[in-house]
Chain A
Amino acid sequence: MAAAISRDDVRHIAGLARLGVPDDKLDTLVSELNGILAHMEVLQKVQSAGAAAEAEAQRTGMPLRLDEGPSVKLVRPISEIAPQTRSPDGAPMPAVIDGFFLVPRLATHEDAGDES
């Protein structure tokens, strides 16, 4: 099984997960994550190689749809997806321009002009 998680590991995975973890919380997280992962060690003793692939090949319990393509159009007007929601001036919400949802501007883009 993998080695214990270190402070650097927590920093690394926090970066991958786009989470800012302050230094004063690192030790607690190291302790908690190692505590949780210690309970996973039991899995290494189990002979299980290939079990998931075998189960998938024999999968009989879950009925599946016929493979005839999507039952609904993947691109639909917002009025069809969210017919009930309107902004105070009656426009569909969320706001859409040219088929794209509008999201709040980033502060770092404020000087980038209207076309950004």
Chain B
Amino acid sequence: MTATPEALLQSGAGAIAAAVREGKVRSRTMVEASFARAAEVDAGPSGLNCILSADLNGSLQLVESAPVGGALAGVPVVLKDNIATTMLSTSCGSKILEGYVSPYESTVARKLREAGAILVGKGNMDEFAMGSSTEFSAYGPARNPIDRTRVPGGSSGGSAASVAAGIVPIALGSETGGSVRQPAAFCGIVGVKPTYGRISRFGLVAFASSLDNIGVFGRTVDDAARAMEVVSGDDTANDATSAPLDAPALRTDSRDLTGVVIGRPKEYFPASLPTAMQAHCDRALDALRARGAEIRDVSLPHTDLALPVYYIIAPAECSANLARFDGVRYGLRVEGEGLRGMYEATRSRGFGAEVTRRILLGTYVLSAGYYDAYYRKAMDVRALIARDFTDVWASGVHALFTPTTAAPAFTIGAISDPYEMYLCDLFTVSANLAEVPAMSIPIGRVGGLPVGGQVIAPRFGEQVMFRIAYALESELGGAAHA
């Protein structure tokens, strides 16, 4: 008996694509099921507020030219609102780009389209990806489908919530310091930050170019693997943001980890880690042992410096990247006195409080007299943080396991101090600074709310990372998922 479109939507990308390829369901039907689900869970501003723009007719038009034999045939997808698409606007969660429609599409959007996936919406986000809760969106906070009084995490919270709510099995986000893994953990789904350079950033609106990555959300490890296989790989036709390496095969039937050495870095398990979180991590480590992995205690001694380093380098790069939003080339223009007055009026009106704060911070640390004390220092310490990882790999460790966050999703409005919000990225920023791949997998619930475990691998080590993720998910069962 053929599954209903509604059931297929919840079965994952593999089941949908197989059904479309075999002619059991039409892509059009899957798109309609996705929109129906979005209406059912109230994905709009009065509800989850996870999707900023959607157009059923536009999505149905995309179906007309979509290949039915592709790896993601008929799979509805949501892309974060900072990933350029020609069908829907790309506002970056900002007033300064309200209604902006890109004249070209990003490489990841093209690859998804060519694989048969259908864009059904653009995900809400913290403005220009600066935030850890999606509360800094100019279009209001997104809500966590597990508990609507809480944040879905951020900055890719809209994409994560769309997957967790069952609107799509796959979504794309972006990461600069944890903006895929942290919302994945908060929403009980899988979130992948690939190696820097594994996925082309052509068409991703830049925040901090040395740290930015496009990342993937899936309800399961298999959904994430299928999406990664499609969007990864060299993109010489368009840019120099992707490494000259082919997309690796990530799906595997093996759940055996015999011979795999997984490090447990002590800095990620401080005495202050809540007991319940510690217990879930211990259970996950036991699960990895049960699958044959050797768990080894290791140290990444510069871990406590990662957050200060990140919050110098990321604002510095953002202050340069966001200079292009000046009222001339993109979006909003507010007239002022002369050219300079127009720049200042446009940018002050167009940017929200967090973006303004980070541009000021970045401009300060790059300004004459402070560059060496802040920016150059941060770049040197970043190298030490990266060396910590290199040393661990050199000792025979294949991957690391850590908590993704120290606690589950917090209540909307609970954090008002900027640096306290930055602390949300405590366990995730190091992977961005070291350019290594990392992913979050659901490992349980604390107080009814999902929490995630993080697997970190060496550069371009996505295959071992996914092998561990498959085994962990299989051993823990699906109870931890959204």
Contacts and interface: CB of A to CB of B under 8 A. Distances in A.
A77 interface: no
Interface string B325-343: 0101100010110111011
B307 A39 contact: yes
A106 B339 contact: yes
A29 B329 CA distance: 28
Interface stretch (B2-10, B12-20, B235-243): B235-243
B237 A103 contact: no
Assign chain A's interface to a size class. 35 or more
A43 to B, nearest CB: 5
Nearest to B330: A103
Contact of A17 (B86, B319, B345, B379): B319
B232 to A, nearest CB: 14
A46 B379 CA distance: 12
Interface stretch (B37-45, B354-362, B443-451): B354-362
Interface string B293-312: 00000000010110111011
A2 B312 CA distance: 14
B348 A19 contact: yes
Interface residues of B, number: 73
A88 interface: no
B200 to A, nearest CB: 13
Contacts of B383: 48, 51-52, 54-55
The 8 nearest A-B residue pairs measured at CB: A82-B103, A20-B344, A48-B380, A55-B383, A51-B383, A20-B348, A82-B104, A51-B380
Interface of B: 86, 101-105, 196-197, 236-238, 240, 243-245, 302, 304-305, 307-309, 311-312, 319, 323, 326, 328-329, 333, 335-336, 338-340, 342-345, 347-348, 351, 356-357, 359-361, 363-364, 367, 369-370, 373-374, 376-384, 386-387, 390, 417-419, 422, 435, 458-460
21 contacts: A9-B364, A10-B360, A14-B360, A17-B363, A19-B356, A35-B417, A35-B419, A36-B419, A37-B364, A43-B378, A46-B305, A46-B377, A51-B383, A52-B383, A54-B383, A55-B386, A62-B243, A72-B238, A85-B102, A107-B335, A108-B342
